[in-house]
């Protein structure tokens, strides 16, 4: 059975003081939760602080980064490599978020280079895919998801695929307050799993965790994560408040 994974994507928010207050408060609610894997994904500036605050506090809470460069090191001013993240004991990295694709020109090819570099450094990627509203209205959801998955996850071994988390994030649902309905999300997730099956094999596809992201909040979390192929959530806005994020984690725990 797939263990649910719920991640807090803080994006470009949270000072060191705010991060500290968040972790202290969140631990009161969530330190004892074992059934769900929890990932806190702060901005680069707070990675070390959050890691330090979580040390020896909970086996279930990991730390992730929001992006990285595909090269190991070198003259890439302003960039961070997988090795630098591992140096901070980071476990996960979000790759190919729609904000990076849209605002920073990341293509599936770039995402794929990063995904392979992450695995090489034993960093687990959370790879985001999802259609825009225009693509959905034109009936192109499956086409877009297939292209993004096959491009971003190209040339990975079965083991690497199993250690990859896929996040289905319809672009029209991110930060808009308008989440996909549980049925819409399940339909996309089932298609993603089917595509992963075609790209590898049955066992591998059954082991890959697929998160839903896009306006997840405590009110809709339980129903979304109750769907057969939804194995967790990637949470933006609602993850900035420790109580609301803890409520989403509990919704994941209370599923099965």
Interface ranges with ligand PGA (CB under 6 A): 9, 169, 174-175, 213-216, 234-238
Kindly tell me the burial class for residue 194, based on how many C-beta atoms sit within 10 Å of its own C-beta (0-12, 13-18, 19 or more): middle
* Neighbouring C-alpha atoms within 13 Å toward the C-beta of 36: 28
By beta-carbon proximity to ligand PGA, the closer residue of 195 and 215 is 215
Least spacing, CB of residue 198 vs ligand PGA, in Å: 26
Residue whose CB is less far from ligand PGA, 204 or 237: 237
Q: Residue number with the shortest CB distance to ligand PGA? A: 236
Any catalytic annotation for residue 169? yes
Smallest separation (angstroms) from ligand PGA to the CB of 126: 9
Task: Give the 3-state DSSP-derived string for the chain, with helices as H, strands as E and coil as C.
Answer: CCCCEEEEECCCCCCHHHHHHHHHHHHHHHCCCCCCEEEEECCHHHHHHHHHHHCCCCCCEEEEECCCECCCCCCCCCCCEHHHHHHCCCCEEEECCHHHHHHCCCCHHHHHHHHHHHHHCCCEEEEEECCCHHHHHCCCHHHHHHHHHHHHCCCCCHHHHHCCEEEECCHHHCCCCCCCCHHHHHHHHHHHHHHHHHHCCHHHHHHCEEEEECCCCHHHHHHHHCCCCCCEEEECHHHCCHHHHHHHHHHHHCCC
Provide the minimum distance between the beta carbon of 179 and ligand PGA in the complex, in angstroms, as a whole number. Answer: 8
Q: How far is the CB of 26 from ligand PGA (least distance, A)?
A: 17
Taking the complex as a whole, how short is the minimal distance between the CB of residue 166 and ligand PGA, in angstroms? 13
Closer residue to ligand PGA, CB minimum distance, 126 or 141: 126
Nearer CB in complex with ligand PGA: 60/215 = 215
Dihedral sign for Cα atoms in the order 116, 119, 175, 220: positive
Please pick, among 97, 99, 160, 189, the residue that the annotation labels catalytic. 97
CB of 157 to ligand PGA, least distance (A): 27
Widest Cα–Cα separation across the chain = 50
Catalytic residue among 99, 106, 160, 169: 169
Q: Name which of 42 and 214 has its Cβ closer to ligand PGA.
A: 214
CB closer to ligand PGA out of 96 and 200: 96
User: Active-site residue numbers?
Assistant: 97, 169
């Amino acid at each position: 059975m797939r263990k649910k994974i719920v991640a807090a994507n803080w994006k470009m928010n949270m000072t060191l003081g705010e991060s500290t207050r968040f972790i202290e408060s969140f631990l009161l609610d969530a330190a004892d939760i074992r059934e769900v894997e929890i990932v806190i994904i702060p901005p680069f500036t707070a990675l070390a602080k959050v890691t330090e605050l979580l040390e020896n506090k909970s086996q279930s809470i990991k730390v992730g980064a929001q992006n990285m460069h595909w090269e190991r090191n070198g003259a890439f001013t302003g960039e961070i490599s997988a090795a630098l993240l591992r140096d901070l004991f980071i476990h996960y990295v979000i790759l190919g978020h729609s904000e990076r694709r849209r605002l920073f020109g990341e293509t599936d090819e770039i995402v794929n280079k990063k995904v392979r570099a992450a695995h090489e450094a034993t960093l687990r990627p959370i790879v985001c895919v999802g259609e825009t509203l225009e693509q959905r209205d034109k009936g192109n959801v499956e086409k877009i998801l297939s292209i993004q998955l096959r491009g971003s996850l190209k040339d990975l071994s079965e083991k690497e695929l199993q250690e990859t988390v896929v996040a289905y994030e319809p672009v029209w649902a991110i930060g808009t307050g308008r989440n996909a309905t549980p049925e819409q999300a399940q339909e996309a997730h089932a298609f993603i799993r089917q595509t992963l099956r075609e790209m590898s094999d049955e066992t591998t596809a059954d082991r890959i965790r697929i998160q839903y992201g896009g306006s997840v909040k405590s009110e809709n979390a339980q129903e979304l994560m109750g769907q057969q192929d939804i194995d967790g959530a990637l949470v933006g806005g609602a993850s900035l408040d420790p109580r609301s994020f803890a409520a989403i984690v509990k919704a994941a725990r209370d599923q099965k």
